[in-house]
Structure 1
């Protein structure tokens, strides 16, 4: 789905003053750019105002069809540069109009039902958190249709959750991974990433402590180093 803001065609009439330096300007401060919003599959997008000048705030309203959600929304100027979008909530986004045509591209994706676990009641305080983590690919449970909400979390699991939440970035290979983290294990790349980003330094003695319980103090320290420092 693509929306294009085009500059109105300039008049062929010349200015009455042959010496005017502004008569040939194609994008004066009062120039207005038309906004078109063609229909798209699996959702609807409207733009307001339908005519905007440089510096104006344009609002994009996104309404997915039932069973779909917004997957991506991108605004680019005539040179292909991305414009900053501000999420105003409730499906509304704004951007500042440049002095060139603008292309708004949106994609909608089908909402996939999150995995349900027999040991996660729908009314428990962490049900929504588990659903979010599964949809984001942060966890898939512990197997056999269970999440094991009361089980203890290991250091390897905690770092892997953080790594997946960050998008599972490939490690740069600059960190020396402790010997108790085996290559090919589910947490190897996560531990390497955490070491490279100073989220953890291991437990000393050349060990990471993969199977050790992750204390509340340790997990808060991991979060702080990853998100707040």
Structure 2
């Protein structure tokens, strides 16, 4: 059970080089983003996705067709992204702070989330929306940086899970997902939930970040590659 993860630091990656891989529609969208860091992240994310499919399938990166049809409601634009030319390649992309990362596998479904630990959090507002009863009990014994880190871990794990299933953040209450063990527990029934158990693996992608990988099946073998350039991604 193999999963590969590639990570790019947006501060040093070549945005102009990556932009040459995007479609006209993606370039138009990038041009509408006024904040430079947001635009750079968008460009690198789309370039990583296109490069991944290109390396795997042999199709030119600029011609890769990324579909986002929802598997649960058939909406054409808010589902888990997939490659039309390689439907057997399951992947998930995430970004936070200066990191952009993508995970992929042909052996398992995947969901990836990266969270910058420098983000501002308000525990008293976050915990009731995030944690199950048992998780709230565990959080009650924490404070300061330990509490912040555990909140980011819970968020990363739960977002990775809903990215794997394709439900999205608005369709699944995080208080229904127990992630205080290696296998996700459901505390309430959820429509269109996978029959397979969903397993969680913590990742160490960079200092100051909390990352989680969700997969189905046995514990995965995870290989992480840090890229200086999007073009360095190799399958």
Do these two structures clear the TM 0.5 threshold for a shared fold by scoring above it?
Answer: no
The TM-score normalised by the length of structure 1 is: 0.26
- Larger RCO of the pair (alpha carbons < 8 Å, separation 6+): 2
Judging by fraction of residues, say which structure has more helix: 2
Rg larger for = 1
